[in-house]
Chains A and B, each alone.
Chain A
Amino acid sequence: DIQMTQSPSTLSASVGDRVTITCRASQSINSWLAWYQQIPGKAPKLLIYKTSSLETGVPSRFSGSGSGTEFTLTISSLQPDDFATYYCQQYNSYWTFGQGTKVEIK
């Protein structure tokens, strides 16, 4: 099984900050990685697929990068709607999610 490890687990930031979340895979997943945003009580929302492709309608302040086993999600300028939990997901071999990164208000 491919394990996905996100860091940090919690991140405290302010509006306007640049935020980076890291996701590491236990083995190479090529570029088969997606990122999701989840607000409490809601289903996750797709932000980025195939490492760096922005889903339609998602603001351009979100970006993704990486390859192989290390990937990052960057929010260039944090907005009030961005305080949420973020998950990475690999789909190179079955599907596995990271444990989540909660972005909270500093």
Chain B
Amino acid sequence: QVQLQESGPGLVQSSQTLSLTCTVSGGSISSSDHYWSWIRQHPVKGLEWIGYIYNSGNTFYNPSLLSRVTISVDTSKSQFSLKLSSVTAADTAVYYCARGRGYGYGIDYWGQGTLVTVSS
């Protein structure tokens, strides 16, 4: 059973960089079939895709966040990471890491989510 677990600070200062890590267990992060993703959910709002990394290094980002986002992978640790720079209160959200099973198959595994609050 694949499991994903987010980790990182729950509080980030405004204008700083948000950094989160997702640890994957029960499956290989090196598989070329999977899209390792970050998705966030603002309080009482819907879901917003941030970006994904696949095939051990190719990345796609939400155009609205492109200038501030970096997703990277460390296959030796079975982890992938998110960095979001210049955060504001609008970046306060629950952040999920998740796995896209393959092109056309949807997002089949999710982490439990971690709340990140941006404070001024």
Interface residues of A (CB under 8 A from B): 1, 32, 34, 36, 42-46, 48-50, 55, 87, 89, 91, 94-100
Q: How far is the CA of A89 from the CA of B47 in the complex (A)?
A: 9
Given contacts A36-B107, A91-B103, 15 further A-B contacts (CB under 8 A): A43-B111, A44-B47, A46-B107, A46-B108, A49-B105, A50-B104, A50-B105, A55-B108, A91-B106, A94-B49, A94-B62, A95-B37, A97-B47, A97-B48, A98-B46
How many interface contacts (CB-CB < 8 Å) are there between A and B? 57
The answer to whether A49 touches B49, judged by C-beta atoms less than 8 angstroms apart, is no
Residues of A near B105 (CB, < 8 A) are: 49-50
Interface residues of B (CB under 8 A from A): 37, 45-49, 52, 60, 62-64, 96, 98, 100, 103-108, 110-113
Which residue on chain A has the smallest CB distance to residue B110?
Answer: A43
The answer to whether A34 touches B106, judged by C-beta atoms less than 8 angstroms apart, is yes
Residues of B near A99 (CB, < 8 A) are: 45-46
